[in-house]
Amino acid sequence: MSNDTASENVEDEEIVIDIDEPEMTIEDLPGVGPATAEKLLEAGFEELLAIAVMSPSELAEQAELGEGVSAKIIAGAKKLANIGGFISGTALLDRRREVQKLTSGCSALDELLGGGFETQAIVEVFGEFGSGKTQIALQLAVNTLLPVSKGGFDGEVFYIDTEDTFRPERIAQMAEAVGMDPQDALDRIHVARAYNSAHQTLLVDEIKRASKNYDVKLIIVDSLTSHFRSEYIGRGMLATRQQKLNRHLKELKQLSDIQNALILVTNQVMSKPDAMWGDPTRAIGGHIVAHASTFRLYLRKSKGGRRIARLIDSPNLPEGEAVFTVTAEGLQD
């Protein structure tokens, strides 16, 4: 049909426009001079989107501005942040075509995820202590180094460790099990210990810088929430905590899109029955983390050292379960 080529060109143009659009910053906001910009930055507002979703009173309090000024800034941010901008289905499909899938080494788990752990996505692995979250993280770190023909990404790994549970010996063990030189594996997995939530957030900027020299294909945050949970305690701190977590996740998601990389975050669930965190399918961080995650895997321990992973509210895959075990060699069916 003669229409086809014409419509293809239109789609191409739309993609180009999308990429070339200059990124607006808070300095572009009407009425924001250097002093106000400084206040906003100091309060942690680096992105228009973060401002656009605030209420005037929240912004006034957090950035120490008047409410009237805050309302104007928010209105400006909503316009500039291009909330709800449309992009063509074709452009979306093109991006989706770049998606790569990483094997976990366990076929049941890969199948549950529609063929493996996807790039351009945040995967949240949550479950109680000892359920296998860190073991999955370590295994995916090793597998990311594998050639694409073996289900890997042939890329580099950046691992943010908040609980000091990264074990190089375990990486070496898993690397040997897949026929990789342990030294080579350890060279390509870059680890940073995050001392608090602010440091954890800064490390993402560090990864952004590193991505100029390294082919970053997997970013792990183990655990995403532990620092935030211990630093922001009680109802009064909840809004601030959620806002900071939200921004952290947005930055991670942005990196995953730019790098065509996979983001794996772990999250613990409290066994203590509590109004906010009692439901096991509702991990720490509540709906902010749940909403930001593309895939959510809920892990639980079962008989004989088995682990059960359940896929929860995925955009395009049926809910289901996969059984795996953690052995000396790593994850197995």
Task: Name the site residues for ligand GTP (rule: CB under 6 A).
Answer: 127, 129-135, 165, 170, 268, 305, 326-328
Q: Are strands 320-327 and 295-301 parallel, antiparallel or unpaired?
A: unpaired
Q: Which is nearer to Mg ion, 48 or 297 (CB)?
A: 297
What is the nearest approach in angstroms of ligand GTP to the Cβ of residue 113?
Answer: 18
Vertex 233, ends 231 and 191: CA angle to 5°? 25
Whether the ω angle into residue 149 lies within 30 degrees of 0, i.e. cis, is no
Q: How many residues bind Mg ion (CB under 5 A)?
A: 3
Q: Which is nearer to ligand GTP, 119 or 266 (CB)?
A: 266
Choose the contact partner of 51 out of ligand GTP, Mg ion, none; CB within 5 to 8 A by kind: none
Is the distance from CB of 63 to CB of 40 less than 8 angstroms?
yes
Choose the contact partner of 268 out of ligand GTP, Mg ion, none; CB within 5 to 8 A by kind: ligand GTP
DSSP letter string, 142-189: HHHTS-GGGT----EEEEEESSS---HHHHHHHHHHTT--HHHHHHTE
Residue selected from 70, 100, 131, 134 as contacting Mg ion according to rule CB under 5 A:
134
Residue nearest to Mg ion (CB): 134
What is the nearest approach in angstroms of Mg ion to the Cβ of residue 330?
Answer: 15
Choose the contact partner of 327 out of ligand GTP, Mg ion, none; CB within 5 to 8 A by kind: ligand GTP
- Phi, psi for residue 311 in degrees, rounded to 5: -85, 125
Q: Which is nearer to ligand GTP, 80 or 297 (CB)?
A: 297
Tokens of 46: 């680096």
Q: Which is nearer to Mg ion, 125 or 322 (CB)?
A: 125
Smallest Cα–Cα separation from 158: which of 221, 68, 225? 221
Choose the contact partner of 226 out of Mg ion, ligand GTP, none; CB within 5 to 8 A by kind: none
